[in-house]
Structure 1
Amino acid sequence: MTQAPTDRPPSGCASLGTSRDRHEASGSESQRVALIVLDQFSMIAFTSTIEPVRIANRVLGRDFYDWKTYSVDGEPVTSSNGCTLSVDGSIADLNDADITLICSGVDVERVVLPKELGTQLRKLNARGRTYGAVCTGAYVLARYNLLAGRRCTIHWENIRSFREEFPDIDVSADLFAIDRNCITCAGGMAALDMMLRVIAIQHGAYLAHEVAEVALYQNMRSGESAQRHDLESRTGISNVKILDAIRIMDLHIEDPLSCQQLAMTVNLSPRQLERLFRRHFDCTPGQYYLKLRLETARDLLRRTNRAVLDVAIACGFASTSHFTKCYRERYSCTPTEERQSYFWAPAPRKPPVRATVTQLATS
């Protein structure tokens, strides 16, 4: 059973403004929260970050949290769902804030990151302010070298490519991570869990519970909770041998095992393992394994700028020619064509605006 946020903050969270005394909180100064939204940001992550502090103000009966939104140039920003957000200013207007969060979303690798944004974030960090990211924003912090020596998290779709591009950064598959004055979450509803934890650190678990109740959110999750459903739920298969085989495949993408080795690890004969895979997936274990490796390769081609040969080796292919042959058979294009059509292509035009999201402070 997942534990709810407790009154005691985790190690290294003093910079979040832990309640000096619980009874003193009612008279303390407000917390300034700055959200920097980037093109194609995740709307669910954005609203899940703001709504908990809005509700906290309502429950407290005063404006303890004050938030503003910023874009790179002060212009409205389009989210991944096509809605446009009007912001309060540009990053040049962000002089100070107690908590500053980067909110990004899909295709974060293709977003042009100005030098000024990194400069502002470093200034805030130097002042001891809390900074961080929601959804894929950890990628932005990594690009600015603001995650060195910090533990962080990012959306599970980006974890493998993130590790390939930033091998020295400690990234986890947790819902959210709090490391001293750096806070990150995986996006989606994880932003709600992270902000509830921040509220619990600053005001106590009682307020976090009240906020969760108002939001009709019953199960507050700890940061260490897994992002994804278990493999059985994702595949709809309960056969332990198959599930173990798939887990082992995923652990050995770079150094793939033979069918015989795979069968031995799950205590089956190669023939028995093949029968199980044909029954449940209508393919051989080798074909399923190849599919996993090619999916990983496609993700790396789209999200990183690593050379095609490096991607091939990272996915267990001994040569570029073999990798290209297998890739073309599955995706009807070569790895190079995939890279040129996706990662290096000009950023897509913003979709037609379907709605305008005004500043949520007026809600």
Structure 2
Amino acid sequence: MASSQAVQASSAAARAVVPQTLGFLLLENFTLISLASAIEPLRMANQLAGRELYRWYTLSHDGELVRASDGLQITPDAATHIPLSLDWVVVCGGVAPHRGVTREHVAWLQAQSRLSRRLGSVCTGSWALAKAGLLDGYETSIHWECLAAMQEAFPRVPLTTRLFSIDRDRFTASGGTAPLDMMLNLIGRDHGRELAAGISEMFIYDRVRNEQDQQRVPLKHVLGTTQPKLLEIVALMEANLEEPIGLDELASYVDVSRRQLERLFQKYLNCSPSRYYLKLRLTRARQLLKQTALSIIEVASACGFVSTPHFSKCYREYFGVPPRDERNGIDSRQARDTPGERELRVRMSLSAPPAEPLSSAVLALTQAQGEPTYASVTLR
């Protein structure tokens, strides 16, 4: 009896937990696909859980219409001067972020930081956070088109080409659908992998990418047209992953010495040619492991590894997990996670302050109650 009462009390407490509240700050010319990719997983999390795990508001400095990069106009839920009890703040950027970030944006974001909000961004929104001085020392993702400009403008921000980055209380995603992957990873950390998997199934999203997945940054964008020989060498590498070409042979193809070849890679790509070639082969192996039914032996062979043990060793050293765990979808960090280490905070009051506008999450959840998937996932 006592045990039953304890279970009921625990269930009641779970139902009483107030959702985490997100404020999406819309910059002028933000990309609509990135905003939708961030919000839709939250809506579906509520639907599958059968209760409001998340609520959200769209915001602008003055509460007026904000135009997206595709020309559509969004009416925000509130202006930034309206006090909202936010847990997360997410900046939604897009085209020409350096022109869309104002002093008012910077001041408001700095105020949110002082209130200990978790701060994030999608697409080029990290430009605003960096301008506010809130990304110094935090690993940061931004759309590859802005990588060079942002590195020059904010040298204290460690940039990465990863699809998204979660670093302590900062989370940043590059453009397109990358925010969907980031949100699914955050939801999975907070409420379990089953819920994240259920959301991806509802969106017919075959594979949830993680923090190790990289943006495909065109090398021409990194190098421009100043290094045609280096571009030619990389093209040769990419075309010969199954049977790697020796460095001396690569050098002779483009009429340079091996020493010149090594200097080119070190100067412009910050690694040796053999290391870069290995990275290409391992990245291809990761795609095959996740997207095909090829055996690990076949994957190793298709990527130019003469033995499976050598392939497994290289793979583990580069990605942090062995190929078998990658194939099974096991994240090496999950085994170490404990509830006390989860970064997402849960607020414990039942209702939002009366001054807050109504979140569209409430309407979406009400409409979802007639769906067959409503409350179909039991949370951990």
* TM-score, reference length from structure 2: 0.57
Change (3 A) 1:265 1:168: farther
- Structure 2: distance between partners of 1:243 and 1:231: 7
User: Who is 1:148 aligned against?
Assistant: 136
Q: Does 1:72 align with 2:61?
A: yes
Secondary structure (helix, strand or coil) at the match of 1:131 reads strand
Query: Where does the alignment leave 5 or more consecutive residues of structure 2 unmatched?
Result: 1-9, 221-228, 237-246, 258-267, 269-358, 365-380
State how 1:227-306 maps to structure 2 within 5 Å.
227-228=215-216, 245-246=233-234, 266-268=250-252, 270-271=254-255
Per-residue deviation, 1:247: 7.8
Q: Does 1:102 align with 2:86?
A: no
Letter of the structure 2 residue corresponding to residue 132 of structure 1? G
Per-residue deviation, 1:360: 5.9
Change (3 A) 1:27 1:360: closer
- Structure 2: distance between partners of 1:118 and 1:204: 34
Report % sequence identity: 33
Contact 1:22–1:203 at 8 Å: present in 2 too? no
Change (3 A) 1:199 1:22: farther
Residue in structure 1 matching 2:36, options 42, 47, 57: 47
Residue in structure 2 matching 1:87, options 76, 80, 85: 76
* Count of aligned pairs between the two proteins: 237
User: Who is 1:224 aligned against?
Assistant: 212
User: Who is 1:168 aligned against?
Assistant: 156
User: Who is 1:12 aligned against?
Assistant: none
Per-residue deviation, 1:212: 0.8
Per-residue deviation, 1:218: 1.3
Per-residue deviation, 1:264: 7.1
- Structure 2: distance between partners of 1:360 and 1:213: 23
Per-residue deviation, 1:180: 1.0
- Structure 2: distance between partners of 1:228 and 1:24: 44
- Structure 2: distance between partners of 1:208 and 1:50: 14
- Structure 1: distance between partners of 2:61 and 2:46: 28
Residue in structure 1 matching 2:169, options 178, 181, 188: 181
Change (3 A) 1:177 1:82: same
Secondary structure (helix, strand or coil) at the match of 2:81 reads helix
Letter of the structure 1 residue corresponding to residue 30 of structure 2? F
Q: Does 1:158 align with 2:149?
A: no
Q: CA RMSD in A?
A: 3.2
Per-residue deviation, 1:201: 1.3
Query: Where does the alignment leave 5 or more consecutive residues of structure 1 unmatched?
Result: 1-20, 233-240, 249-262, 274-288, 290-358
User: Who is 2:279 aligned against?
Assistant: none
Contact 2:232–2:254 at 8 Å: present in 1 too? no
* TM-score, reference length from structure 1: 0.59
Per-residue deviation, 1:231: 6.8
Deviation string 1:249-304 (CA, Å, 9 cap, x unpaired) is: xxxxxxxxxxxxxx97932165599xxxxxxxxxxxxxxx9xxxxxxxxxxxxxxx
Contact 2:101–2:128 at 8 Å: present in 1 too? no
User: Who is 1:202 aligned against?
Assistant: 190
- Structure 2: distance between partners of 1:184 and 1:62: 27
- Structure 1: distance between partners of 2:201 and 2:254: 52
Q: Does 1:122 align with 2:142?
A: no
Change (3 A) 1:161 1:264: farther
Per-residue deviation, 1:118: 2.4
Letter of the structure 2 residue corresponding to residue 99 of structure 1? W
Letter of the structure 1 residue corresponding to residue 32 of structure 2? M
Contact 1:104–1:135 at 8 Å: present in 2 too? yes
Deviation string 1:67-107 (CA, Å, 9 cap, x unpaired) is: 11001111011100111111111111143311110001011
Change (3 A) 1:120 1:270: closer
Letter of the structure 1 residue corresponding to residue 17 of structure 2? S
Letter of the structure 2 residue corresponding to residue 217 of structure 1? Y
Letter of the structure 2 residue corresponding to residue 153 of structure 1? S
Secondary structure (helix, strand or coil) at the match of 1:35 reads strand
